[in-house]
Structures are given as structure tokens and as C-alpha cells.
């Protein structure tokens, strides 16, 4: 009975109910078209780009930090890959590796600003976002870079068994691997401890700054991967790229139960948050809602997610206070 109560009170169960209601509503409105195999595949495929950003930012939020530069950094990395392959004529793997190294480097620079210069994470990463966005315009002159390379476009357009997009399989594998790292490894436990209480983490011999470097660099790596896959999918790199996906990643993570207070959340919840967000966006598209109105609703969804997180965190603090007073 206790196990059943825990399941019913869990964030994942709440999201599953929300997902079911959304699917039911959109299926009724669209007379069943929403549940077509092609549309289900579109929903899963639309999760790919956001999923990498959501995983990167989720790890950071759980540890007590945040990165608001991932969309801009991913866009810059996609543009760099395009220039190296198309404009410079170098092999695809050189462009891809250069983009990944750039993403990791941006993450390392964010970590330096946070841990050495003691900037607040949101200030440091907003500055990085501004720099990355401007650099994208500088290196491309605002011009779209066409990616006419079979190897790199294969990643974004290939299908397994004729139906399943390769990049979707890659994103699901990453979600699974990072979920195992977070839930089943010593490093994952360190991330949770640092997010719960950095002072306590130091007292038990952990180095929160070292973990912060790893997580910022990991987020930069995932942003670069997301930007490269997006460019390979469209067969071109643009200065807008995945910049608009930044807050979708944060929304999915918070919706999935990753608390802004740090120390809680998981990849299963993050995956469910991604599903809810993409079902919601796809459903509005199916019923003919204007794209700009969709953006408004996505913003409202983020506010709702943050409000629920605040209420949950406050209730948890009250419960801890009551327990301490009763002793």
C-alpha cells in the first residue's frame, strides 16, 4: 500500500495522467487524426533537439546551478561545423569534432565564471549566450551555410528499419545512459548531494566546484551535439539554429520534477516532461493554433511548472521544519 501511495504521489504519475488527458483532448478535437502513427512519430522526432538541452540543464539544476546559454552555444557550434565542412572544405568529422570541442570549451568558460569569478550562474550563462549569439552572426555574416555532405546529413535524416529516425534513437539512448548515471552511480549521488547542500557536500569530502566543471562542460557538449544534429537535419546551419529551444529544455526539466532548489529530479521525469511539452505543442499545431500563440502557451506552461515546483519545495521545507520541532 505504501508503494502504491508513493507511485500515486509521484511526479511521474501526475505527468502520465496529464499526458493521457492531453492525448484524449487532442484526439477528440482532431477526430482521431492526432493518434495517427505519422503524428506520433512526429512528436517523438520533435523531442530530439530539446532532449539534449533538457538533459544538460537538468543535471545542472539538480546540482544547484543553471545554464541559460545552451541554445545559443548549440547554434554557434552548428554554424562552426557548417563553415568548416562547407566553406573550408575539410572532412565532416573535423567540423563535428571542432563543434563538440567548442561546446565543451564554452561550458568550461561558464564554470570558470561561476567558480573562480563567483558570478551567479544565470548572469554568467546569459553573458555567454549573448557572446555565442553574436559570434554566430560574425562567423557566418548572417548567411545560411548549406551542408551538402552525405555523412553529416545522414545523422539528421537517416531512418532505421525505414521508419525510426536515427537521431531519435540517439536521443533515447542518451536519456537512458544519463538516467542510469544519475540514478545508479556514485557520481549521480554526488550531484544530488551537491544540489541538496553544498556545505554538507564539502564536509563529507566532495568537491562541488569540480563537479560543477564536469556538469557545465557536459551541458556544453550536449548543446553542441544538439546544434550539430539540428543542422544536419535541416542540411544547413543558420544564426537562429536552436536558440529558441533553450527554455523548452528548462520547461521540460522542471515539468519533469527537477526542482530549482536542487537535489531532486530524474531522467524518467525529464523524459515525461519532454513528452508532455511536445504533445502539447503538437496538439496545438494540429488544431491550427498560431505559432506565436503556441509560444505564449509554452511560456505559461513554464510559469505553471515553476509555480508547482515552488509549492512543492515550500511544502517540503514545512514538513522538515515540523519534524525538527517535534523532536
pLDDT tens digits along 165-222: 888 899 999 999 999 999 999 999 999 999 888 888 888 888 999 999 999 999 999 9
Please state, in angstroms and rounded to a whole number, the distance separating the CA atoms of residues 200 and 183. 20
What is the tens place of the pLDDT at every residue in 21-56?
889 999 999 888 898 888 888 888 889 999 999 999
Where do we find the cell 506552461? 301
Inter-residue contact 102 to 251 (CB < 8 Å): no
For residue 323, pLDDT over 80 is answered with no
83 located within any domain: yes
Which pLDDT value is given to residue 6? 67
pLDDT number for residue 28: 92
Distance CA 197, CA 199 (A): 6
Residue 188: inside a domain: yes
- 42 lies in a domain? no
Task: Count the domains in the chain.
Answer: 1
Give phi and psi for 160, each to the nearest 5: -90, 135
In a domain, 299, yes or no: yes
pLDDT tier at 254 (50, 70, 90 boundaries)? confident
- The count of residues in the chain is 327
pLDDT band at 88 (very low <50, low <70, confident <90, very high): very high
The number of angstroms, rounded, from the C-alpha of 140 to the middle of its chain's C-alpha atoms is 26
Give a yes or no: residue 15 inside a domain: no
Euclidean distance between CA atoms 132 and 177, whole angstroms: 28
Domain membership flag for residue 249: yes
Confidence of residue 307 (pLDDT cuts 50, 70, 90): confident
304, pLDDT greater than 80: no
Look up the domain containing 126 and give its range: 49-326
Q: How far apart (Å, rounded) are the C-alpha atoms in residues 81 and 60?
A: 26
Going by C-beta distance under 8 Å and a sequence separation of 6 or more, which residues neighbour residue 237? 78, 79, 81, 82, 83, 140, 144, 145, 147, 231
Question: Does residue 204 lie in a domain region?
Answer: yes
H helical segments located in the chain: 2-9, 11-29, 37-62, 70-82, 92-115, 121-140, 150-157, 166-184, 186-196, 198-203, 208-234, 246-255, 267-286, 291-326
234 within a domain of the structure (yes/no): yes
Quote the CA–CA distance of 176 and 172 in Å, as a whole number: 6
The answer to pTM > 0.85 is: yes
Amino acid at each position: 500500500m505504501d508503494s502504491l501511495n508513493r507511485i500515486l504521489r509521484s511526479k511521474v504519475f501526475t505527468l502520465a495522467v496529464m499526458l493521457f488527458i492531453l492525448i484524449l483532448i487532442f484526439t477528440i478535437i482532431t477526430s482521431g487524426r492526432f493518434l495517427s502513427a505519422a503524428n506520433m512519430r512526429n512528436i517523438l522526432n520533435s523531442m530530439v533537439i530539446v532532449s539534449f538541452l533538457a538533459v544538460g540543464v537538468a543535471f545542472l539544476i539538480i546540482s544547484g546551478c543553471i545554464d541559460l546559454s545552451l541554445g545559443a552555444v548549440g547554434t554557434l557550434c552548428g554554424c562552426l561545423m557548417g563553415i568548416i565542412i562547407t566553406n573550408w572544405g575539410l572532412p565532416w568529422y573535423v567540423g563535428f569534432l571542432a563543434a563538440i570541442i567548442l561546446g565543451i570549451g564554452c561550458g568550461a568558460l561558464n564554470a570558470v565564471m561561476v567558480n573562480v569569478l563567483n558570478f551567479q550562474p544565470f548572469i554568467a550563462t546569459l553573458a555567454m549566450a549573448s557572446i555565442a549569439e553574436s559570434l554566430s552572426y560574425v562567423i557566418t555574416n548572417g548567411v545560411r551555410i548549406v551542408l551538402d555532405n552525405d555523412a553529416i546529413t545522414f545523422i539528421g535524416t537517416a531512418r532505421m528499419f525505414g521508419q525510426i529516425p536515427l537521431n531519435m534513437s540517439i536521443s533515447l539512448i542518451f536519456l537512458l545512459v544519463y538516467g542510469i548515471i544519475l540514478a545508479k552511480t556514485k557520481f549521480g549521488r554526488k550531484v544530488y548531494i551537491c544540489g541538496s547542500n553544498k556545505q554538507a557536500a564539502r564536509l563529507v569530502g566532495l568537491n562541488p566546484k569540480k563537479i560543477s566543471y564536469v556538469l557545465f562542460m557536459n551541458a556544453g557538449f550536449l548543446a553542441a551535439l544538439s546544434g550539430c544534429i539540428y543542422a544536419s537535419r535541416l542540411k544547413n546551419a543558420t544564426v537562429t539554429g536552436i536558440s529558441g529551444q533553450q527554455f523548452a529544455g528548462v520547461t521540460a526539466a522542471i515539468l519533469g520534477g527537477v526542482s530549482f532548489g536542487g537535489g531532486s529530479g530524474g531522467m524518467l521525469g525529464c523524459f515525461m516532461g519532454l513528452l508532455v511539452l511536445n504533445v502539447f505543442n503538437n496538439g496545438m499545431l494540429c488544431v491550427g493554433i498560431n505559432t506565436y500563440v503556441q509560444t505564449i502557451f509554452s511560456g505559461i506552461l513554464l510559469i505553471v511548472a515553476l509555480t508547482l515546483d515552488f509549492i512543492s519545495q515550500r511544502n517540503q521545507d514545512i514538513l522538515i521544519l515540523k519534524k525538527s520541532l517535534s523532536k
